[in-house]
Each structure stands twice: as structure tokens, then as C-alpha cells.
Structure 1
């Protein structure tokens, strides 16, 4: 049986792109320049799609001091009306203040702070499946950060996955593509993360494997899967086309150059009443291909 789809969202916090993004953001290939005008156009289209899904947008101004401020999802984890403010790397810690204010003052969410000085935590290392929470441990999130996640959301089981050094964040290796559906890269790195997750999980999920590493990052919201367009993932696009009906491919080339990806660009927020805290706990453990 499928769980209630908790990936129904009413609000999203996003950030405009600062001009410093083209020069100072973490670039996957420093030799490949970023077209800032095209990046802004692609980001505007991304935000417009969220609006068309019925999501009210709270758009933060660009922060030139923080070229990666558009990766807002790294600053907070929001589940069941509680916002856990993350503790990103030192160069990004200043991004959290404006997000905290918006979550508290504009949306009235309960704010929880990381209370461990040793903790490192970025939001795209946290995967909420609807039934449990998985935290990726790597360069930007450590076990103390994962403990803070468990403390903030005691109603969910929390497990950890050790990320291979080639994977910067858990959501680059796997994301949710629907209720109980995990999208993961077919390569060794993605499969390593998946198998470790499976070994800790007591729930059943369906798994769809894609070819390009970038294709494993999709944004599932309000019944629609947002994924990269054909030009970015030519080998994976036919897989997504054949497996899913409600989907939309987005041009995201310039944002990818700057180290962004689809789930990083928005903090998606549900009204607490849209969640059901009663989950099935008797699902038979097992994972299979769609």
C-alpha cells in the first residue's frame, strides 16, 4: 500500500541570483563560464513552474556577499510545521538569518536551532521520504548534525548514509520522485548510497535508476516531477519519459555550472495540517524496480 503523499506544498522560499554567482559560486568546471543572464532566466522559469503548481512564492533579495544564496534549501529543513535552521559551512553561515526571519515572521513556523557547536548540517544532505528521514554524512554534514535532525523531528526515524567523497550532498545521489518512489543514479556511487539506505530502512520503496548522475536529482511537488531537460540528461530522459506521466523537464544548464541542482533552489513548505502523523509501520521491507 502507498503512504499518504506528504509532498503537497503551499509555500516556497527562493532567492534571486546575485551577480557574484557567476564569478564566486562553486563551479564544477572553473574553465566553463556562467552566463548570468541565462542563469537568471532559467531560475525565473523554475520559480514560475512552482507558481503554476499552486505554490505561493516568497522570494528573497539577492545577497552579493553570498554567491550561493540561491541554494536556499541548504539553510533549513522544514517538516510538519517545524523549521530546523541548518549550520552550513562558514562561508555560507550568513545566509541563514534572512531565511530564519521569513520562516518565522512570514509563515509563522516553529524555529529550532542547531544546539551542538560541533555540528555541521546542510539541508540538501537531508532526504525526507514521507515516512522517515535519511541524512547524508560527508563534507558538509556530520553525525552531530544528523543528531540535531533526529532531535528536531522525533516523530520520524532518522538514519544516516556515509557519502562517497565524490558526492557533495545526499540529494545529488537520490531524491523522491513520488510517494514511496526513489530516483537514484545507476552508477556505483548512487548504488552505494541506496544500499546503505536500504540496510537501515524498515519501509518499502520503489526504485527508478537513471544514467547520468545529475538526473538523480529531481524535485517532486504537488504531484509533478520536475527534472532536467533532454539536453542535460540525454540518456536518462527516455527513462523518465517512460516511467512517469506527470513530469516536466527544465532547462538548468547555467545553474548546474554553478553547482546548483533542482532541490537546492527552494525550501518547500506544507501547512502542518496537510501532514498525517499516523503512518503505516507494518510495510514489508523490500525495494524493487518500477
Structure 2
């Protein structure tokens, strides 16, 4: 088994803009503090770089309050990248802003183009063998079908799954820990969508910790969830806790803050 789903040589991040206070959120738990978010973001970037990866940090985009969450704009695979078509109308322009940066890095960049298609990277979990895409308020059947067609000749099967009701993105509730292991909330794993994988369920009350990222030898988890941290440590993972209090106010987590990719096939 290869490990392209969690071994990365590059990442792209984007600085949060002062307009982040106008970012989308399902429930208003207060406006994010830009200074605190910038400090957390710097820690995040430094942690990725500490693994030896090259991390490009793009400038803030004032016109797009949610643009710090770059993962929603594209899907990066070894064979190429696919530009997404976000389901939130205010975020459509973010994908266009990301496209030229991916064109500069990849020989093949494709785009979701259907006017009825909507799909965001936060709903996509790539494992060693397949691409799981969660239907959600931001990702619809047309977007999933179009993605399946775009990546078929790259050898990637796409499997449609379902994001739990009231959950923004599929990866809000899950993340990849290694080639055979997925961290999940009990409400998501109970659906059976991870049959064939080893599943670690986050403890009750720590559902927000399900959104982590495995980046080379590190598992980046949001700070403040000690039982999940300890469970991962017992399972043999190297854990790095990153402050996420401000991104969490905008339904953002560890995976949202970067596009991650490795040597191209």
C-alpha cells in the first residue's frame, strides 16, 4: 500500500482577511478575533513546514471573508487538480482565485463547470483507494457526478456518501489517520460508510476533534479535546495540537486551512 493520501511535499494556505468577521457560520457564537486567528494560522503553517513540506501562504482576500478555508476550492490528487464549484454563492470567486496557483504546479487542472453542480473540498475524503464525497448543503448529486467523470481516467473511483443532518461538511465529522484508519464521530461511522476501514470514534462531547489532518508523520488536531488527543497518542500517532477557537466560530477546522499534495504521478 502506498501512502499518497497522507504523505505530502507541498501545501497551500491563505492568510485570513480582516473581513473574516463577516464569514459564514451555521450558528453565531461570536465574531472571530483576527489577531488570535493569525497566531493560530502561523502555528498551523509552521507545523506543516516542520515536516519538511514546502508551504505557500497566499495573501488575504478581503472580498472573500471565508477564503482562509482554501480546502473547499479544489481537490488535489497525484495526477492533477480539480477546481471545485462551492455551494455557497459568496464563495464561488474563491475557486477562480485559486485556479492559477494550481495551474502553476500541476500539468493537468480540470474544473467543475456545470451550472447546476455544487461541490466543496470539505465534503471530500481521499483514501488510498477511493474518493468519498458527502452529499451536504454545499455538495449536490450533480457536483459529485461531474467530479466522478473528471477523475475516472486518473483511476479514482468516487463513492457518494451522506453528511449527517445539521453538519456542514462530510469532513467536519471525519478525517484520515493513515491508509486504513479513519477518525470519525459515532454519528457518522454508525452509517456504515467506512466499512472496510479501521475506525476510531472520537469520545462523546469531542465531536469537533474529528476534523484533523494527517500530514506526513504528524496528526494535527484542534486544541481543547484531551480525550481525543490521548486516544490518538495511545494508538501510536504523533499528535500536534493547534489552536482553532476562532476558525471554529466559522465552522472551520484543521483540514479547511490547507490544500495538501505530494509528488505528482
Flag the 1:209–1:9 CA change in 2: closer, same or farther, 3 A.
Answer: same
Deviation at 1:262, TM superposition (A): 0.4
Equivalent residues in 2 for 1:56-205, closer than 5 Å: 56-88=54-86, 89-105=88-104, 107-154=105-152, 155-186=155-186, 189-193=187-191, 195-198=192-195, 204-205=196-197
Aligned Cα RMSD in Å?
A: 1.5
Misfit runs of 4+, over 4 Å: none
Give me the whole-angstrom Cα distance separating, in 1, the residues matched to 2:237 and 2:28: 37
Q: Does 1:255 find its partner at 2:238?
A: no
Give me the whole-angstrom Cα distance separating, in 1, the residues matched to 2:47 and 2:18: 23
Q: Which residue of 2 aligns with 1:237?
A: 229
Please tell me whether the aligned partners of residues 84 and 111 of structure 1 are also in contact (alpha carbons under 8 angstroms): yes
Give me the whole-angstrom Cα distance separating, in 2, the residues matched to 1:126 and 1:235: 26
Deviation at 1:125, TM superposition (A): 0.6
Deviates more, 1:23-32 or 1:59-68: 23-32
Give me the whole-angstrom Cα distance separating, in 1, the residues matched to 2:246 and 2:8: 26
Give me the whole-angstrom Cα distance separating, in 1, the residues matched to 2:261 and 2:228: 28
Please give the TM-score of this superposition, normalised by the length of structure 2: 0.92
Deviation at 1:29, TM superposition (A): 4.4
Deviation at 1:222, TM superposition (A): 1.1
Which residue, 221, 243, 250 being the options, matches 2:215? Answer: 221
Give me the whole-angstrom Cα distance separating, in 2, the residues matched to 1:98 and 1:45: 24
Deviation at 1:210, TM superposition (A): 0.7
Render the CA deviation track for 1:38-68: whole Å, top value 9, x for unaligned: 1110011101111111111121111111110
Please give the TM-score of this superposition, normalised by the length of structure 1: 0.85
Helix, strand or coil: the match of 2:167? coil
Give me the whole-angstrom Cα distance separating, in 1, the residues matched to 2:173 and 2:106: 32
Give me the whole-angstrom Cα distance separating, in 2, the residues matched to 1:190 and 1:244: 23
Deviation at 1:95, TM superposition (A): 0.7
Give me the whole-angstrom Cα distance separating, in 2, the residues matched to 1:265 and 1:87: 17
Q: Which residue of 1 aligns with 2:198?
A: 206
Give me the whole-angstrom Cα distance separating, in 2, the residues matched to 1:55 and 1:40: 20
Give me the whole-angstrom Cα distance separating, in 1, the residues matched to 2:94 and 2:142: 21
Helix, strand or coil: the match of 1:168? coil
